Amino acid sequence: MGQKTEIKVNPEILKNTTECKKDFSCLSGNRTDLCKVELNVNDKIHFVKCLSDEPCDYKKSFGYSFICICPVRKELYNRYNI
């Protein structure tokens, strides 16, 4: 079985993620509620497909899709590709 990667997020990024209403559940190891990044543009714009209809202050409508502006979610994708 493969070894689990320890997820670490820069404390400054955590501090800047002030609108998280999910209590950073994405860092719990249970990543079933993470929106799936479908397209990443220069590690800055992350188009996502959300796995739930739960409201999120970091999910923004962009035409017919959504972008994620959550600093923690972007770090998880940019650093760990998850």
Is it the case that residue 70 has pLDDT exceeding 80?
yes
Domain borders along the chain are 27-80
Choice between 22 and 10, residue whose per-residue pLDDT is larger? 10
What integer is the mean pLDDT of 33-61? 91
Neighbour-count burial of 58, counting CB atoms closer than 10 A to its CB (0-12 exposed, 13-18 middle, 19+ buried): buried
77, amino acid identity: Y
Is it the case that residue 13 has pLDDT exceeding 90?
yes
Helix (H, G, I), strand (E, B) or coil at 43: coil
State the pTM of this model. Answer: 0.86
